Homo-oligomer: A and B are copies of this chain.
């Protein structure tokens, strides 16, 4: 595995292997000295053309726990402002000795384009509406491990609530969840569903109320404020009346059901309930698992993936 651009590039075996490796990483992260020398001498460059401190810090923490060096490139303070092309930027950083690029860009397809300009590995950290593959892996890791599962979501029902149409998280999650056998139900206004939804192998619902008592996982998406003004939804109050998780709705969840959110949450918009009041919330577990899963991805791509080498700690 050289790049991670899309969940579509991953077979079920690939996914299961990465999540198994993430188990090793979770064990490392619980050690008194939470660090291994596996990627010493390697350089991981975060190249974020769209700001996301949360995702960048998660990847950089993952890299550091594997003893890789990190290099942070943000578009705001770079030669991109001097008119340097994206290609020249990548070629320049690559020539400095980058082993893997972690790329966030507002346009779909940019991470794939970057693979043409460098011999280094490229990991998609979110491109437009397209894909966010490590988010799907960490979400799948969170669900499977919460339910004591390893390689299947057969028989599990997962509702994804919110703006499906513009969400790379939804696209990535749906692909992995359905291939692992889960039943996926999209809960959104028709204007926030993609046109070709019929081909996705999913069900739909028009309100959380239709699904809340039945599902194993309620996955809340972030409502983008900027969509509010765009005419695709009638208004905040009406949106919340059908698509927000409220305390009343939360009380209807099955006792074993999980509540998830990719963050950052909009409290008072889609999250009217305080997640710390929900025993089934796995929202902070998703963040913690994000570091383990990104360690697993970096190690699979740059370290050869032979997990026996992870037994060695750094000298403490």
Among the listed B74, B84, B285, which residue makes an inter-chain contact with A264, where contact means beta carbons less than 8 Å apart? B84
Closest to A79 in B: B264
* A266 neighbours in B (Cβ, 8 Å): 83
Q: Are B37 and A96 in contact (CB under 8 A)?
A: no
Among the listed B41, B265, B288, which residue makes an inter-chain contact with A34, where contact means beta carbons less than 8 Å apart? B41
Q: Min CB distance, A168 to chain B, in Å?
A: 16
User: Given A69-B64, A79-B264, does the pair A40, B88 have CB atoms closer than 8 Å?
Assistant: no
Q: Are A82 and B264 in contact (CB under 8 A)?
A: yes
Q: Among the listed stretches A4-12, A52-60, A240-248, which one makes contact with chain B, having 4 or more residues with CB under 8 Å of it?
A: A52-60
User: Given A88-B264, A288-B95, does the pair A57, B73 have CB atoms closer than 8 Å?
Assistant: yes
| Interface bracket on A | 35 or more
In the bound complex, CA of A52 to CA of B92 (Å): 13
Q: Among the listed stretches A16-24, A25-33, A101-109, which one makes contact with chain B, having 4 or more residues with CB under 8 Å of it?
A: A25-33
Q: Are A92 and B264 in contact (CB under 8 A)?
A: yes
A235 proximal to B (CB < 8 A):
no
Contact flags (1/0) for A140-180 with B, using CB distance below 8 Å?
Answer: 00000000000000000000000000000000000000000
